[in-house]
Structure 1
Amino acid sequence: MQALEVAVVAITGLVLVLAAIRRPRRGRWWPEGSRWPAPETAMAIALLAPLVLHLLVDGYRTVMIPAYTVCAGLLLLLGLRARRAGRIPTLSEARRHPRLRALGRVIAVLLGLVALATSALSATLLPVFELPAPEGPYAVGRTDLHLTDMRRQEWATSADDDVREVVASVWYPAEPAAARGAATEVLGDEIAQSVAGSVAAAVPSLRPAADVLGAPLDHLQRIATHAVRDAEAAAHDGDGFPVVLYSPGLASSRFENVALMEDLASRGYVVVAVDHPYTSGSVTLAGGAEATVDPVLLGPGSDATVRKRLNDWIDTRVEDLSTVLDHLAALETRPGSVLQGVMDLETVGAVGFSLGGDTVTQALTQEPRLDAAVSLDGPYLGKVSTTGVPAPFLNVIAADHLTDLEQDLETEQETGIASDSLNRYRGTMSSASGPVWVASVEGTTHLSHTVFPLISPILGGEAGTGRAQVDTVETLVVDFLDHALAGAPARLLGQGGDIPLTTRFLPDPRVPRT
């Protein structure tokens, strides 16, 4: 919680208790004739001061609505008491149901304290945070792209003339002098949609409420990033900066790993994060329509139906990445483009999370312009589960996911029956050729491989390690890309260590056992 939020909750709670125990007509709290205001006035001032400061400095937050409600109720009560201060109650009023009135006070105090505790807990679980500062020598610029592929019909809709669209954001190295003092972007609504979509996709019971899950995250719109819109690109030596494509998870968005995007850009990469309509979260198309997640993927259909649909969408997503590369080639030579002459399209990598991990893994097998790929806890769907993946390739598995695979391995040894997830893992990794690494970071879960652990401690792995989870995954990805794309010596690959969380590499990538 922020300091002023703590003040609002604490002072409101104190005034709530004082208002309940005080008898308005039993005298003042200080000597008669003193210059202090009446108790009701003093309590109202105590309530309003932190509340007004909080709203002016921090801004309104949805999670604080219960506290705002208690505060408003107390202000109304204190106002009514102040109006009645000079009136002497009749004898019948003074004796009317004293026990019921006392019980009512107790219930009101308890309800008020529960409401305040709800706000305090919600604000603690959804803290206002700062994104990690990029560690490279460059400033970070950002521009957005809305691309249309006239060669492909959109198969997710019934319109015959509907063609495939792709929305992307590009983070790139910018001149530090040009970006100095310029206003940076804020996270915006997209990151809230990412969280809501990812949680709804992971927890089926929450899918009917997916539209409102992002409401408590309104504060994310005020969190600053480190990117400057359309900043002047940095100068470079040689053929330009290497390009990294990014594919997000199901029902999420291209901003789910914004800290990684900014850090890579600051280190000299052009990062292009792609939203895939109908599998990413809500995507605004050229005509203003919203492309929402394919209902088959989130519906009650059979596993076989959903699996086939996911595989079809992975094929489409791979084609989306190819479309992006085609357009980048045009932007590279377009006069006036902020990306003109900036990119080295002969050196291209890809990173993806969850379904995006499977997307970039398959793209590595199909798209000849890709040189390397990183899968962040992908579930091993798509064609590569039967064909294997080429190299270089880094597969980062969540700790709980790896534990499940190790248990599946033990079960197979005991019963001779392999699980579907174990077979998919083997199909992907057993036929791998060349340098392939499989790593797992201690204490991580699926969402640990995004920026989500910064948004809330319940969206990552081990409590209290959100920033460390983000930093560790980021360090792994940077080390791999520096090695695979830039030819730098590998510092961590195959070795692991505390970076800052303990990271282990599988001795044999074909066997899910540390």
Structure 2
Amino acid sequence: MTTRPLFRLPRPSGPCAVGTVTHHWVDTNRPDVFTADPDDRRELVVQIWYPATRPASATPAPYVPDAAVLAPLAKLLGLPSFVLRCLKHVSTNAVASAPAACDEPSFPVLIFSPGRSGYRQHNTWQVEELVSRGYVVAAIDHPHAAAGVRFPDGRLVTIDSRMVDNDFVETVVPFLAQDAVFALDRLTALNHADPTGILTGRLDLSRVGIFGLSLGGAVAAEACRQESRFRACLPMDVWMPSSVVRSGLSQPTMWITRDAGTMQREGWSQADIDRTITTIRAVFDTMPGDAYLVQVPGMYHQDFSDAPLLSPLTRWLGLTGPIDKHRAHDIVTACSLAFFNRHLKDRRAAFDGLAERCPEVLLETA
């Protein structure tokens, strides 16, 4: 059995090619709560993917330019470190700094927040599909919550050891949600005047959504509680923060998760299962407007990410579930596109045919 990823991202099915750029942004108004120095300001690395015109001689952008930052993630997943180091050899379907597509004057914007000890690219298959259908997606590397974040000056910030403590995580979710709000502020400035000229005037900031996986889904929900500019919320396979349970959400929200039986088969503790299901249900049941609860039996937690593509070891180690990896991809992209198309592109028929395309999905609406 090979441990090399031999990994190709699925080619996006939409009409747009994909471009990408990466930014380093510093929030000069906000101290970094993860560090002891009160003078440390919060810094982010944010990668933006956007609908593009693909140059004829384009070279695909790398999946993870610096795979060394993923060592903490390999340890968490129980994988040999060299498995994830091989990701530096993987190419994406995106082209760095490609010209933006010209078929639309501007595009709706989505912010993506990754999981605890994750990395900004770990849902690239989902991101590229959304971009190929006419969305701009900005993915945040949250320093101290991500596996590792490399800044342009060479500094490497790895995950804070306190992030293994769920009580500590709950306390920092509001701070991580402020990363998303700050990123939206920076995207607004970029739309006004992009130094590269690529995205100036191309971001429709009246149509903004946010999605996230695992911890990133909790961050997405909290960001929507804090900031009304987010008009649609898509948390995937995660508990809801206590602040969101107390106040609820006003934006249209779709949760994508799975049933308790699948969580049990994956090996989740009963406490984690109860926390996830009861907090999602508590918010879903009090939604004042459009809400969708999607359960996909047979999907494990890592099946919501690129993990099934990385190596055969993920199935062997029980990290991915019995569902076919391509089927998992099709279901998540179909549901996320239907949701964002309805609530950010006003396509009222976006859910038509979804039940036929995804008959194994259990869908509740409110």
Q: TM-score if structure 2 supplies the norm length?
A: 0.88
- Compared CA separation, residues 173 and 155, structure 1 to 2 (3 A): same
Task: State the Cα deviation string for residues 393-449 of structure 1 (Å, max 9, x = none).
Answer: 110013457665xxxxxx9xxxxxx95444423332222220100112231011111
Counterpart residue number, 1:246: 112
- 1:352 partner letter: G
- Compared CA separation, residues 430 and 191, structure 1 to 2 (3 A): farther
In the aligned structure 2, how far is the partner of 1:495 from the partner of 1:393?
A: 17
Counterpart residue number, 1:94: none
Counterpart residue number, 1:504: 362
In the aligned structure 1, how far is the partner of 2:142 from the partner of 2:58?
A: 31
Asked whether the 8 Å contact 2:69–2:149 carries over to 1, the reply is no
Asked whether the 8 Å contact 2:341–2:350 carries over to 1, the reply is no
Counterpart residue number, 2:219: 359
Counterpart residue number, 1:395: 255
Q: CA deviation at 1:356?
A: 0.3
Please state if 1:338 is matched with 2:198: yes
Please state if 1:445 is matched with 2:312: no
Q: CA deviation at 1:155?
A: 1.6
- Judging by fraction of residues, say which structure has more helix: 1
- 2:293 partner letter: V
Please state if 1:188 is matched with 2:64: yes
Counterpart residue number, 1:369: 229
Counterpart residue number, 1:235: 102
Larger mean Cα displacement after TM superposition, 330-339 or 473-482: 330-339
Asked whether the 8 Å contact 1:191–1:253 carries over to 2, the reply is no
Counterpart residue number, 1:158: 36
In the aligned structure 1, how far is the partner of 2:262 from the partner of 2:282?
A: 16
- Compared CA separation, residues 396 and 374, structure 1 to 2 (3 A): same
User: Which runs of 5 or more residues in structure 1 are unaligned?
Assistant: 1-120, 207-211, 299-305, 405-410, 412-417, 510-514
Larger mean Cα displacement after TM superposition, 153-162 or 394-403: 394-403
- 1:270 partner letter: V
| RMSD of aligned residue pairs (Cα, Å) | 2.7
In the aligned structure 1, how far is the partner of 2:352 from the partner of 2:180?
A: 26
Q: CA deviation at 1:498?
A: 4.0
Pairwise mapping of residues 67-466 of structure 1 onto structure 2 (< 5 A)? 121=1, 123=2, 126-176=4-54, 179-188=55-64, 197-198=72-73, 200-201=75-76, 206=78, 213-238=80-105, 240-285=106-151, 287-298=153-164, 306-334=165-193, 336-400=196-260, 419-457=274-312, 458=315, 459-462=319-322, 465-466=324-325
- Compared CA separation, residues 495 and 228, structure 1 to 2 (3 A): closer
In the aligned structure 2, how far is the partner of 1:441 from the partner of 1:126?
A: 29
* DSSP-derived class of the 2:327 partner: helix
- Compared CA separation, residues 436 and 313, structure 1 to 2 (3 A): same
* DSSP-derived class of the 1:502 partner: coil
In the aligned structure 2, how far is the partner of 1:186 from the partner of 1:489?
A: 36
- Compared CA separation, residues 492 and 270, structure 1 to 2 (3 A): same
- 2:225 partner letter: T
* DSSP-derived class of the 2:24 partner: strand
In the aligned structure 2, how far is the partner of 1:401 from the partner of 1:248?
A: 25
Asked whether the 8 Å contact 1:192–1:218 carries over to 2, the reply is yes
Counterpart residue number, 1:26: none
- Compared CA separation, residues 481 and 402, structure 1 to 2 (3 A): farther
Asked whether the 8 Å contact 1:453–1:470 carries over to 2, the reply is no
Counterpart residue number, 2:344: 485
Comparing both chains, which one has the higher relative contact order based on Cα–Cα distances under 8 Å and sequence gaps of 6 or more? 2
In the aligned structure 2, how far is the partner of 1:446 from the partner of 1:291?
A: 25
Asked whether the 8 Å contact 2:7–2:311 carries over to 1, the reply is no
Q: CA deviation at 1:225?
A: 0.8
* DSSP-derived class of the 1:496 partner: helix
In the aligned structure 2, how far is the partner of 1:259 from the partner of 1:419?
A: 29
Asked whether the 8 Å contact 1:279–1:313 carries over to 2, the reply is no
- Compared CA separation, residues 420 and 264, structure 1 to 2 (3 A): closer
* DSSP-derived class of the 1:424 partner: helix
The count of aligned residue pairs is 355
Task: State the Cα deviation string for residues 90-133 of structure 1 (Å, max 9, x = none).
Answer: xxxxxxxxxxxxxxxxxxxxxxxxxxxxxxx2x1x654132111
Percent of matched pairs sharing the same residue: 29
Counterpart residue number, 1:301: none
Asked whether the 8 Å contact 1:317–1:359 carries over to 2, the reply is yes
- 2:119 partner letter: S
Larger mean Cα displacement after TM superposition, 128-137 or 421-430: 421-430
* DSSP-derived class of the 1:477 partner: helix
In the aligned structure 1, how far is the partner of 2:15 from the partner of 2:206?
A: 23
Asked whether the 8 Å contact 2:46–2:140 carries over to 1, the reply is yes
Q: TM-score if structure 1 supplies the norm length?
A: 0.64
In the aligned structure 1, how far is the partner of 2:57 from the partner of 2:297?
A: 39
In the aligned structure 1, how far is the partner of 2:113 from the partner of 2:89?
A: 25
Asked whether the 8 Å contact 1:388–1:430 carries over to 2, the reply is no
